[in-house]
Amino acid sequence: MKFRTESGHTAIWWEKTVEYAYLAKSVSDGVQLVPFAGPLERATGDAIEIVGNEFVIIEFKDLFSKKAIRQESIKFLNEYRPYYKYRAIITEFISNYDISAQDTPHYFAHREVINNGKINYVSDSFDIEYRDYWTFAVVEYPKRWLATDFLVYLRCLNAMRTASSQGEIPSGAVYGFSSDGCIVSVCALEDVLKVLRSTKTLKFTDSEELVQKHQNESSHGP
């Protein structure tokens, strides 16, 4: 990404820049951050952040844009439908478990841009902005869900995603970063892997009908 700043500088950064900035902040804040790739990334997101028994999915983007939405849409069963239309299915599914659907444990993290279209430029700072994955609402910080509720959301999300071309969900120990910067095995993800490996038995045969039923409730793209 290349952008002109308020002061006339040319700012250049990538999605990786956002990931590294987020990692540095998360580790210093005392959380566990687990980056994903391949089939795990397709089923969930770029990373899962864990604090105690609470989880949240993070999708990294260099900048929030229509391109970012298209990148997410191709992960879903109907890649030609904007993925946020499937929020109706999420809402309907998790409501059966008495879980509020006003928000979800799923967010974008990207470089912050101020209202006039310029980068919020500070020479010694790289500011990250967070947005709800489904509504695109800007939030101060991603909201984590308790493990039991998070696994319900994850089961529904994964059922709406297409399979990864890089193979099946693996088994084994998953490694992430601890609060002191060390690489550790994250035992809390054992249940996550079990859910992801069994989710495809959950079929949304009426997904198109649900989308149409709730189309007036769906969010609009930027």
pLDDT at 199: 61
Rounded CA Rg of the chain: 18
Query: pLDDT by residue (tens digit) across 21-62?
Result: 888 777 767 688 888 888 888 889 999 998 888 999 999 998
Render 63-105 in DSSP notation, one character per residue: S-SHHHHHHHHTTBSSTTS-GGGGHHHHHHHHHTTT---SS-S
% the chain with pLDDT above 70:
73
In this structure, is residue 93 part of a structural domain? yes
**222 assigned to some structural domain:** no
Domain membership flag for residue 187: yes
What's the pLDDT tens digit per position in 162-184?
A: 887 777 776 777 778 877 777 77
- The residue range of the domain holding 36 is 2-217
Number of domains in the chain: 1
**Model pTM score:** 0.81
- Most confident by average pLDDT, 9-13, 53-57, 206-210, 218-222: 53-57
